[in-house]
Amino acid sequence: MKIKSGAQYMESLRRLRPVIYYKGERIHDVTRHPATVPHVRAASLTYALSTQEEYRDLATATSHLTGRTINRFTHVHQSPEDLIKKIKLLRVLGQKTGSCFQRCVGLDGINATYSVTYEIDQKHGTDYFERFKRWLTYIQEENLMVAGAMTDPKGDRSKGPEEQADPDQYVHVVERKADGIIVRGAKLHITGAVNSHEILAMPTVALGENARDYAVIFAVPIDAPGVTLIFGRQANDDRRDRGERIDAGTPSFGAVGGEAMVIFDDVFVPAERVFMDGQTEFSNPIVYRFAAHHRANYGACKTGLMDVLIGAVTYLAQVQGTARSSHVREKITEMIHLCETLYSSSVACSVEGWPTPSGAYMVDTMLANVCKQNVTRFHFEVARLAVDLAGGLLATLPSEHDLHHQEVGPLVRKYVRAVEGIPPEHRVKLMRLIEAMTGGTALVESMHGAGSPQAQRIMIFREGKLEEKIRLAKALLRIPRDGPP
């Protein structure tokens, strides 16, 4: 691996020249700008852990392409054991950042594209699979961070991509050349985009025959000509941008995943970086597999975040003198129960993983969708209990400017102090952390990341094997198997 540490990762970003805007101004160095550096730090831990003996088995893998040791975030899963190690790694990273560390989306895109390109080639005699393996070998050897880009703006959602008044509402091919293609459009909510090295773009919906130009998978560097990134706003970003460390809540690692809008304005993609072009019947499998892998992850990374939140609330109860109250213990117990139930979903869909024709392993899609559906409920309930236990000061706490003010600072510290012997600053920091982890973008991302709750319910119904369940009931009742309904 060329990039072996967090410091080397940051240095590699400084060599790039992407076009990035935030709040109307150009960002020239994501490793130093206050809006982006927390997300850079979070992603850097995916590099740092691979060098630490305690985590090396989780954070690295053996490439099936080269036989060399690689970062797990560039690996194609070869077994249920690989899937389980990924889940364990994600929880550890969630615990260490209390935020999103961003490389999961690219990993899931890599695994979905690997298996689908193999099947495209088997049917059509194309060479997308070989192209993809060459690109992936490069990613593995360099240890590059890949931003997976799937969600399109979608425009008028009652219409398909080819029916839009503005065709750019979905990324599409506008011209085909002998040596590559030219693409136009945008991808939204792209996690870690501004501090990645490469963008892997995939279709966002199943496509019909008339949408051939939209059935495209490709990879480009983030500083490719014509690529513009617009960094999104997050909860408490003004506090963070002004350098308010306590009030930012999670100043070291950011609030969520540093999502950005990625715009492709007539971007040229060399042929060797085009992994699907026009094979519309494979748009559904790429979405299906990517979504399943990504939804499985949420039961791991979000439980890591929940571990931090549960720890913060438990310590806050000690600071405030309520730790022995029975209702406090009961609510913390419920938080732990929800957290571990969610984690078990991630483990289960990994254990039940199965090999695709390419050899790459898929998670169990039913259990992966159940896992993500649980995230949309359990994370919110854990957050609600945390807010309940924190109390009203969570919403009315004076800022750190007042805390450090020459005149009113002593008064603020005097009246936020609780249990004797514990610095009042501890209570302030805990409140801000809980505020950051239970409000704004963090919970929105838990609800809508990897698809809205309805998307999971649709997949759960499809994967429900209802005909098989009907047969079970008929067998028990001695109703003929092929009889009337």
Catalytic residue IDs: 100, 104, 191, 259, 294, 298, 301, 445
CB 278 within 8 A of CB 185: no
Helix (H) or strand (E) holding 338: helix 326-351
60 near 85, Cβ under 8 Å? no
Distance, in Å, from the CA atom of 281 to the CA atom of 101, rounded to the nearest integer, reads 33
Q: For 184-200, b where at least 16 C-beta lie within 10 A, e where not — what string? A: bbbbbbbbbbbbbbbbb
Give 280-322 as a DSSP string: GGGHHHHHHHHHHHHHHHHHHHHHHHHHHHHHHHHHHHHHHT-
Report in angstroms the alpha-carbon separations of 451 from 253, 290, 448, 454. Answer: 24, 11, 5, 8
3-class SS of residue 146 = strand
In 8-166 the beta strands, taken as DSSP E runs, fall at 19-22, 25-27, 60-62, 69-71, 146-149
Q: Which two tokens stand for residue 429?
A: 């920091």
Nearest to 112 by CA among 455, 347, 356: 356
Residue type, 109: G
Which SS3 state, helix, strand or coil, does residue 18 take? Answer: coil
